[in-house]
Amino acid sequence: MNYDNLLITLENNIATVVINRPNKLNALNIATINDLHKAIKVLGKNKEIQVIILTGTGEKAFVAGADISEFAHFTIEEGAQLAFQGQELLFNLIENLKTPVIAAVNGFALGGGLELAMACHFRVASDNAKMGLPEVSLGVIPGYGGTQRLPQLIGKGRAMEMIMTAGMITADEAKQYGLVNHVVPQAELIEFCTGIAQKIMKNSPFAIGRAIKAINANYTEGKNGYETEIKNFGKCFGTEDFNEGTKAFLEKRKAVFTGK
């Protein structure tokens, strides 16, 4: 897979996707969003890939924001279309992907960068990371799901304050808020995320995909999360993974899952 703005490595059933625009602090432009859409879609369909780690190149930024130069002169209609296309192409795609996506936040995650990290299934930050949604300082609001996902993750009051002040929080504050799960030294970030990925990969890929679907249903308008859980719990019973998992448990051995 070759993409202009991404570096992708595949190793031991883990795909590491690196946003590679160092001169722009990995800012999200339309081309990068399109590259990420294509790459994530391909990786999500690859049965060999069981976990995706998403990060930025260099030591300064995960993604420092959207590329403002691209939309500074947009009309109302063009602005709405930009947000709609971005959400549909990338942010919703990642959130609903059956393959777990871990955001390895290796520096600044601002605006669209924090929104990208929040679309991932969970986040791990390096100790130098700083996060924020500064859009109101530009006369606009977060448009890639930030006004929805941030309150879900850290609560309405804290989200209101972060968005209205346009301020940044540290990695430790982000952990305290529940925005990131772990904070580690930058040099250990990818290794730490790989360790979590290896724990995930010991379990049933089919069940993990169904768990993601059930969890997300609780945050989707018009969906009943409990009903979704019941339906997907039942679907697990018709899989090879369920037969293998229960058999291995009764035989007191480690299960070998196929994702079927």
Q: What is the DSSP string of 140-151?
A: ----SSHHHHHH
What CATH number does domain 6-200 carry, 3.90.226.10, 3.40.50.2300, 3.40.50.10800, 3.30.70.100?
Answer: 3.90.226.10
How far apart (Å, rounded) are the C-alpha atoms in residues 44 and 62? 21
Kindly report the number of other CB atoms within 10 A of residue 111's CB atom. 27
φ, ψ dihedrals at 52, nearest 5°: -115, 130
In the chain, where are the structural domains located? 6-200, 205-250
Catalytic center residues: 115, 135
Distance CA 43, CA 31 (A): 18
Q: What is the pTM of this model?
A: 0.96
* pLDDT, one tens digit for every residue, the chain (260 residues): 789 999 999 999 999 999 999 999 999 999 999 999 999 999 999 999 999 999 999 999 999 998 888 888 999 999 999 999 999 999 999 999 999 999 999 999 999 999 999 999 999 999 999 999 999 999 999 999 999 999 999 999 999 999 999 999 999 999 999 999 999 999 999 999 999 999 999 999 999 999 999 999 999 888 999 999 999 999 999 999 999 999 999 999 999 999 89
Residue 36: in which H helix or E strand, if any?
helix 30-45
